[in-house]
Structure 1
Amino acid sequence: MIATDLDGTLLRDDKTVSARTVTALAAAEAAGIEVFFVTGRPVRWMGVVSEHVHGHGLAICANGAAVADLSDGRHRLVKVRPLERDDALAVVQALRTAAPGVSFAVERTEGIHYEPEYPAFPLDPGASFAPAETLLAGAAEDFTAQPVIKLLAHHPAMDADDFLALGRKAGGTLAEFTRSSPSALLEISGLGVSKASTLAQACAERGIASEDVVAFGDMPNDLAMLTWAGRSYAMANAHRDVLLSTTHRTTTNETDGVAAVIESFLGV
């Protein structure tokens, strides 16, 4: 199996998949190698690769909190590993105490919702705005009935890595903390939920051992997957922790580093 991150890894900086990469992915699957896209993106942002899904049509999204079937163009959820509401509320409280100035967004299965101070994503117009405690309210006949798949925390002034360390210290017993943005933006999932743990489940269902997985990534949210896989590649543009934690390197996302490795495997 090939397990690849998207942003900063498979995708070029303009969020496209190069013709070379499309050809390499198709050749891998034609050779009997499954390809899984494993990303921090929510399911609704998977249009960038939907047409390049072959074979199984599945993708692991939201850092392992969601598995989606992209094969029919509907981006259908087939598995959700939620962040429980009480844990999310406890994380909010812990971070408000530890990092004054923090703001939150709540990613649910059908969309994202923000605190007014949070820097909203341009890809998600029409979201609702309210304090996190309201956004995490108990089940009701509206968006709050949808499972929470990720809590996002943004700080306007802190260093990104320092904020991650602080988040893990303040709430690491409640949830999983990681990051994939160059800004101080934490991505918080249910305890035990990561790209690695969901990928391991997918591999177990297919009888694929970790030593038969080749993984590609560039940011801290890829680290668990990269260390779990039998063979892992850091992109040349990767975060320093990723470069230190992998034994193999490839070129940058802008120069089709994933495709280059696949071509070397297939001898093309």
Structure 2
Amino acid sequence: MSKIFITDLDGTLLRSDQTLSNYTINTLNTALENNFIVSFATARGLVSAIHVVSNIAWKHPVILYNGALLYDVAKNEVIDGYMLNDELSNEIIYRGKRHQLAPFCFLLDADNKERVHHEKLTTFGMIEFLKSRTNDPRFCEVETIECSPSFSTLALTYIGELENLLPLKEEITADLGDRVNCHIMKDYYIENQYFLEFSHPLASKKEGLKLWASYMGVETKDICIFGDNLNDLGLFEAGGKRIAVSNSHEDILRLADKVIGSNDEDSVAQYINAYLMVAQESNNR
């Protein structure tokens, strides 16, 4: 019986309004109290992730920035990660500006604190994203985006309409190839907007899961995975049992070993609770 679970957040564990029900909170906390290993793998950074799941007493490492960072929430420290080098980061930024695009630059400073640098925002998607992060201390407007040795680059993220992002994606993919990891996906919360993200070639949830498993001393085949979107494909490729919520992208649904209810139906928590009840019944015998 599996007792190791890793779930995506947005579109999977979180409801469509970016909240968790009391049922999900209580179920996951009970599972953790009963020595189940429950963690998450998300495109979010630590501050953003903890903001929406703070009512759960996470005690195992978490996978952040789509696999770029492995973080120990119990000790509040970085364990490991995959950073994009400065030269390549600045090359991407330069090419983006030729397309009239500037990114959010997600960074770690010398003390491993999260920072997000951006130039003055002028496009709808970027402005709306920042509005959703009101009072987030990570964000800082700078005159000119430039990566330097003072910071480690986790990801360069562009937000906009698909037709405006695709030319940059195609150029970077063609010219920089396997030197950079690139993925594009529709924004969950801003209508008609897409994320285009560039990061280290190994900064994927697949490699993040391998790093997590190695640190935890477990086999990836023993991990039960929950996901819904294209950035979860790597989790499904590397993990053990693959569980898709019903609102998942068709590529995720095709790979799933089992499809459960939607993210708005406490489906992940219900699935884990079934295992929890079996374990508790066994202990009571």
Structure 2 residue runs of 5 or longer lacking an equivalent are 109-113, 188-192, 279-285
Query: CA shift at 1:155, angstroms?
Result: 3.6
> 1:251, 1:165 → 2: CA distance?
35
Q: Which amino acid aligns with 2:23?
A: R
Question: Which residue number corresponds to residue 28 of structure 2?
Answer: 25
What is the rounded CA distance, in whole Å, between the counterparts of 1:161 and 1:114 in structure 2? 21
Secondary structure at the aligned position of 2:178 is classed as: coil
Name which of 47, 54, 61 aligns with 1:50.
54
In structure 2, what is the Cα distance between the partners aligned to 1:91 and 1:242? 29
Identity %: 24
Which of 260, 263, 281 aligns to 1:250? It is 260
> 2:223, 2:164 → 1: CA distance?
33
2:194 equivalent to 1:184: yes
1:156 to 2:161 alignment: yes
Structure 1 counterpart of 2:261, one-letter code: T
Q: Across the two proteins, how many residue pairs are aligned to each other?
A: 255
Q: 1:124 to 1:88 in 2, by over 3 A?
A: farther
- Aligned Cα root-mean-square deviation (Å): 2.7
Q: Matches of 1:176 and 1:250 in 2, distance apart? A: 30
C-alpha distance in 1 between matches for 2:6 and 2:249: 18
Matched ranges for 1:52-131 at <5 A = 52-56=56-60, 58-71=61-74, 75-95=76-96, 100-109=99-108, 110-116=114-120, 117-118=122-123, 119-120=126-127, 121-122=130-131, 123=133, 127-130=140-143
**In the TM superposition, what whole-angstrom CA distance separates every residue of 1:206-226 from its partner, at most 9, and x where no partner exists?**
221111101111111111012
Aligned with residue 14 of structure 2, among 8, 11, 20: 11
Q: Tell me which of 180, 201, 212 is aligned to 1:175.
A: 180
Q: Is the 8 A contact 1:101 1:155 kept in 2?
A: no
Q: In 2, are the aligned partners of 1:50 and 1:71 still within 8 Å (CA)?
A: no
Q: 1:178 Cα deviation (Å)?
A: 2.0
Partners of 1:42 and 1:48 in 2: how far apart? 11
1:47 and 1:149 mapped to 2: Cα distance? Answer: 19
Cα separation, 2, equivalents of 1:250 and 1:35: 18
Looking at structure 2, the residues matched to 192 and 168 of structure 1 have their Cα atoms a distance apart, in angstroms, of 15
Runs of 4+ with deviation above 4 angstroms: 93-97, 159-167
Alpha carbons of structure 1 residues 248 and 101: separation in structure 2 relative to 1, 3 Å: farther
The match for 1:241 is 251
2:225 maps to what in 1? 215
Task: Quote the Cα distance in structure 2 between the aligned partners of 1:6 and 1:161.
Answer: 26
Q: Retained in 1: the 8 A contact 2:68–2:203?
A: yes
- Tell me if structure 2 keeps the 8 A contact 1:227–1:246: no
SS in structure 2 of the partner of residue 158 of structure 1: helix
Distance across 1 between alignment mates of 2:164 and 2:250: 15
Give the alignment of 1:31-46 within 5 angstroms. Answer: 31-45=34-48, 46=50
Instruction: Give the TM-score normalised by the residue count of structure 1.
Output: 0.83
The alpha-carbon deviation at position 31 of structure 1 amounts to 3.8
Comparing 3-12 and 81-90, the one that deviates more: 81-90
